[in-house]
Amino acid sequence: MNASNPIALLFILALLGVGLASCDDSIGDPDQYLTQELLVQLTGDLPAKQGITVRAIDDKGMVYSQPTDARGIATFNVPVGIYDITVSHVSTPDNGWRTVYNGSTSNVVVRQGAQPTVSLSLTTATTSAIIIRELYVGGCQRDDGSGWFYRDKYVIIANNSSQRVVLPGLCLAIATPYNSYGDNKNYDDQGHLNYENEGFVPAASSFWYFQDEEVVFEPWEQRVIALNGAIDHTLTYSNSVNLANPDYYCTYDIERYSSTSAYPSPSELIPTSHYLKAVRYGDQMESAWPLSNTSPAFFIFTPPEGMTPLEFGNDASNVWYDEGRALPTFACRKVPVENILDGVEVFSTAWEEASKRLTASVDVGAVYMTSRYGHSVERRIDEQESERQGHPVYMDTNNSTVDFYEREQCSLRGQ
């Protein structure tokens, strides 16, 4: 074609115009690619301000991450929009303990031509290397399709560090109400848990404790604890789990909890020294520990200094009553937050209603779980820390929303 021909030239230019227009995706949405600088200034008692990851999440779920500089400032260049800003930072473990820094703010508006600076104050919590790795409480389907079986609960407690940890006792507890969707009357007029500022979490009804005076976890050690029948449930229900293992532990105290359906005699493979005992102070009519099948607030703790678990549980001067009702049914024990090693707040996927029972210093978030189908909640692997340690390391930011996920099949299935 002769380019000197004016008609041909116009035809070529028209084609080029169509091509250029087709490559310009921003036409029709002129603000789509407009970006703006956003500064986030971290405040709080930080040992080092540099290198802390800050995340900005827009209303479409897009996540932008930036590290802080020596001043504690993270600098973003993001599209205009509305953002949630979050920080979950864990210090390097030291002697089995670590410090967790959390902070978040919502609805940060980023506009063209206006440089927003967000000041984000971080809360601090000290946590142990001893964590709840997995919690399985929801049960599974029966083989004949007649319903579900839920007497096969277990929890896995893990040492999430390369250091040997020695604890002056170890206890398992639950907060109240037992279900996340229960009518929680422990909130004040400002919408805060009425015990949050008092520095404790109530252990409802009773708690379980290891018989050892000192509980020792070797580096990376994990312990499976059967919370109901410590037997091979797969012999009856193929969708269930085998909890008959000489390395496992179990909650078994038939003098205090008499239900043989909840607590059949443990497998002879499990030594009696591996039985956890119960101390009760609540409703004496219960025949089994009232651990929710759908949405417990589960936590582990050590007794206060100078006390054994039994002494702590029997200390009537430390009583707190659920809903403020001074009746045995509502009796709890006040567990100091500084003695709580870890906790996980579980919400039910079957209910829209849910209220927190663990305070923010124990667990600032929650994880959702579906019961009856063999699901569990488990901690995510911290890929960066695992690479640094050369061993699987689990996330521990004091936030179950971030740290946990729902497994479609609990980890002990098929073992």
Which tens digit of pLDDT belongs to each residue from 249-283?
Answer: 999 999 999 999 999 999 999 999 999 999 999 77
**What's the CA gap between 241 and 225, in Å, rounded?**
13
pLDDT of residue 328: 85
Reported as a single tens digit per residue, the pLDDT across 194-245 is 999 999 999 999 999 999 999 999 999 999 999 999 999 999 999 999 999 9
Number of domains in the chain: 2
Indicate if 193 and 307 belong to the same structural domain. Answer: yes
Asked whether residue 195 is domain-assigned, the answer is: yes
Which pair of tokens denotes residue 353? 């209603």
**Statement to judge: residues 264 and 298 lie in one domain:** yes
Same domain, residue pair 115 and 134: no
In this predicted structure, what is the pLDDT of residue 16?
A: 46
Distance between CA 389 and CA 285 in Å, rounded? 48
Phi-psi region of 236 (alpha: psi -120 to 50; beta: other; left: phi over 0): alpha
pLDDT tens column, 310-349: 999 999 999 999 988 888 889 999 999 999 999 999 999 9
Compute the C-alpha angle 352/323/200, nearest 5°. 90
Domain coverage including residue 53? 35-127
Q: Is residue 404 within 8 Å of 344, Cβ to Cβ?
A: yes
Give the whole-number percent of the chain exceeding pLDDT 70. 90
Is 7 domain-assigned?
A: no
The verdict on 333 and 196 lying in the same domain is yes
Neighbours of 284 (CB within 10 A): 11
| pLDDT higher than 70, residue 122 | yes
In 3D space, the residue among 107, 103, 61 whose CA is nearest the CA of residue 84 turns out to be 107
Does one domain contain both 294 and 170?
A: yes
Tell me whether residue 313 is exposed, middle or buried, using C-beta atoms within 10 angstroms of its C-beta: 0 to 12, 13 to 18, 19 or more.
buried
pLDDT, tens digit (0-9, with 9 covering 90-100), for 6-63: 544 444 444 444 444 334 333 444 455 689 999 999 998 887 889 999 999 998 889 9
Q: Are residues 111 and 180 in the same domain?
A: no
pLDDT confidence tier of residue 5, bands split at 50, 70 and 90? low
Within this chain, do residues 384 and 395 fall inside the same structural domain, yes or no?
yes
Query: pTM of the predicted model, to two decimals?
Result: 0.75
Q: Are residues 232 and 121 in the same domain?
A: no
Domain boundary among 96, 127, 158: 127
CATH number at residue 122: 2.60.40.10
pLDDT at 324: 87
Q: What is the arithmetic mean of pLDDT over 129-142?
A: 97
- Compare 65 and 128 and report the one with higher pLDDT: 65
User: Is the pLDDT assigned to residue 383 strictly greater than 50?
Assistant: yes
Residue 395 CA to residue 398 CA, distance in Å, equals 9
Residue 79 has pLDDT above 90, yes or no: yes
The answer to whether residue 8 sits within a structural domain is: no
- Closest alpha carbon to 227 in 151, 175, 117: 151
Q: Does residue 79 share a domain with residue 212?
A: no
- Of 169, 278, 171, 155, give the one whose Cα is nearest residue 222: 155
- Which residue from 25, 146, 47, 32 is spatially nearest to 78, judged by alpha carbons? 32
Q: Position 95: which residue type? A: N
Tell me which of 97 and 80 has the higher pLDDT.
80
**Within this chain, do residues 62 and 151 fall inside the same structural domain, yes or no?**
no
User: 109 with 189, same domain?
Assistant: no
Last residue in a domain, options 92, 110, 127: 127
Provide the 3-class DSSP secondary structure of residue 233. helix
| Euclidean distance between CA atoms 351 and 170, whole angstroms | 32
